[in-house]
Structure 1
Amino acid sequence: MDLPPPFRATDATHHRPGSHVSVSRALPEEAAIAMVYDGTTHAVMMATPADVEDFAVGFSLTEGIVTGTNQIASCDVIAHPKGIEAQMWLAEDRGEALAARRRTLAGPVGCGLCGIDSIEAAVRSLPGLAGAGPTLTIDEITAATESLRGWQPLHDRTRAVHAAGFMLPGQGVVLAREDVGRHNALDKLIGAMARQGIDPSQGAIVLTSRVSTEMVQKCVMAGCAILIAVSAPTLHALRLAEGAHLTLAAFARGEGFDLFCHPERLRAKVSDVA
């Protein structure tokens, strides 16, 4: 069975005062995607049915189920009438990590932590990024979200999905993924990078969304030391970024951005710019 298309044209009636007209709108698809490890379903997420193998690999990495793609022996994407399974078989030594990060409930598109069955798992300790990462100029950070715009074909059609991109110093965004869920888009990006052998420590992750707790967690787990977002961080996300030595730039739109923590990865201080 084939995967459903990521969007579909749908008829609607557009109303405004004094008139109405028939229109066709492209709407993004959502599908239940199950992460199945060694024959057991670990999590079910509502996500865009595209780049599913990237999603499965990225989810496995950012959840700490595996630490490298070599620990996933195989990954098969199987479509069913009611959803999709990403069926993965793991190296033998990953069973304990899998049990520690067990999820039991379906996660909606708005929350990447729904279903975690303990407070400790939700606020897990993160590895530190002190001394890691490149440096970026203020101009590069300012231009990051606009550079990502060229990598959002599904957004251009539907105006209803998020994107996560990876940018390299001097090159702009070099890879991106889209999804109805912001955390799903980030997992897809991280999985695509891992599968293509791209080192997250050499650049920055760029988001079209707000920066919530799981976005910082996933970025740090991937080993990326700079996070740039078009919208605001939450206070807890900022605390996590500070503790993990993650450089966090938000409200990155137009001609500026807010730098919240770890300015050591800027090549120039904000005060040096008129």
Structure 2
Amino acid sequence: MDCTELVEHSGYVARSIVRHKDSAPQQATDNVAEELPVALVYNGISHAVMMATPLDLEAFAVGFSLTEGIVTHNAQIHDVEVRVHRHSAEVHLRISAHAFAAMKERRRALAGRTGCGVCGIESLELLDLQPARMPAPAKRLVPSREVIERAVAALPSHQRLMRATGGVHAAAWCDAHGEILHVFEDVGRHNGLDKLIGHLAMQRVAMDDGFVLLSSRASYELVRKAARMNIQLLATISAPTSLAIRIAEQAGLHLLSFCRKDGYVDYTGAAPDAGGAAC
């Protein structure tokens, strides 16, 4: 480690800058989002190093463990210890013997970078592009413009780091009426989703009883993570990729993108059930 001292981080740092705009250059201070290497260590073995914002790292580690299939349930995580240093962080997890043995069998080198969730994967087979179809939820969420527009309009007020830096993504958990209940931010869009999922798992929130709103585009790994957790509806502010759409269709996940205050685009075309509950 670069420093033995444990420190607290705010999620951004102040930097002296020179702003060039309109008139003469001006000295100023700018807030910049923090990005640190975070090592995820399972039963003493370092399994992954992800670049992330050093906040909510326990939730991040739990969410990553679930969405990457390292554990199948939160109960398989027995202990989590977060160690945050000045320029790096470690999260030590103690997982069940069964989950640890399975992890060692398929262990691969992961070197996550901002905006990339599969860096370091050694072969195409490890990408897991054939998701099983999610079980039918007890109560289906059928999207409506009013619900999506309500969530989209409310999201900026929950984005503390975005207001400070202009450089992070947000992952929000919304109820069936579009009310935002939880929001997590990170320089990596997939990290933000992992933090949100980890928090929901630790709070034992039923993940088939609401939907996720992301401030980013819909890439394949975000859809795959959501499908693993049986999240039935994923809404994103920006565009989807073709693979994200295909994964969503295979898993039975409803994917909405280009979500704005005046509408959205439905990319999976899931038809509402007769008499289904409105989202």
Scaled by the length of structure 1, the TM-score of the pair is 0.92
Q: Where does structure 1 differ by over 6 angstroms across 4 or more consecutive aligned residues?
A: none
Partner of 1:167: 174
CA contact (8 A) 1:64 1:101 kept: no
Partner of 2:30: 25
CA 116–164 in structure 1, closer or farther in 2 if over 3 Å, else same: same
Which of these residues, 174, 186, 192, is aligned with residue 185 of structure 1?
192
Amino acid corresponding to residue 157 of structure 1 in structure 2: A
Which of these residues, 179, 202, 213, is aligned with residue 206 of structure 1?
213
Q: Deviation at 1:22?
A: 1.6
CA contact (8 A) 1:130 1:244 kept: no
Which of these residues, 240, 257, 263, is aligned with residue 256 of structure 1?
263
**1:29-75 alpha-carbon deviations (Å, 9 max, x no partner):** 11110110010011000100000000000000000111111100111
**1:131-181 alpha-carbon deviations (Å, 9 max, x no partner):** 324233221123322222221101011000000011111251111100000
Q: Separation in 2 of the partners of 1:87 and 1:227? A: 30
Q: Does structure 1 residue 194 correspond to structure 2 residue 191?
A: no
**Greater shift after overlay, 4-13 or 119-128?**
119-128
CA contact (8 A) 1:126 1:217 kept: yes
Q: Separation in 2 of the partners of 1:90 and 1:47? A: 22
Q: Deviation at 1:262?
A: 4.1
**1:229-270 alpha-carbon deviations (Å, 9 max, x no partner):** 0011100111111111110100001201000114335899xx
Supply the RMSD in Å over aligned alpha carbons: 2.0
Residue pairs, 1:1-274, within 5 angstroms: 1-129=6-134, 131-132=136-137, 133-170=140-177, 172-265=179-272
CA 27–148 in structure 1, closer or farther in 2 if over 3 Å, else same: same
**Structure holding more strand per residue:** 1
CA contact (8 A) 1:136 1:267 kept: no
Q: Separation in 2 of the partners of 1:152 and 1:225? A: 24
| Aligned residue pair count | 269
Q: Separation in 1 of the partners of 2:40 and 2:84? A: 13
Q: Deviation at 1:186?
A: 0.3
Q: Separation in 2 of the partners of 1:243 and 1:142? A: 27
Scaled by the length of structure 2, the TM-score of the pair is 0.90
Q: What SS does the corresponding residue of 2:20 show, helix, strand or coil?
A: strand
Q: Separation in 2 of the partners of 1:266 and 1:152? A: 34
Q: Separation in 2 of the partners of 1:134 and 1:100? A: 37
Q: Deviation at 1:222?
A: 1.4
**Structure 2 alignment gaps of length 5 or more:** 1-5
CA 105–197 in structure 1, closer or farther in 2 if over 3 Å, else same: closer
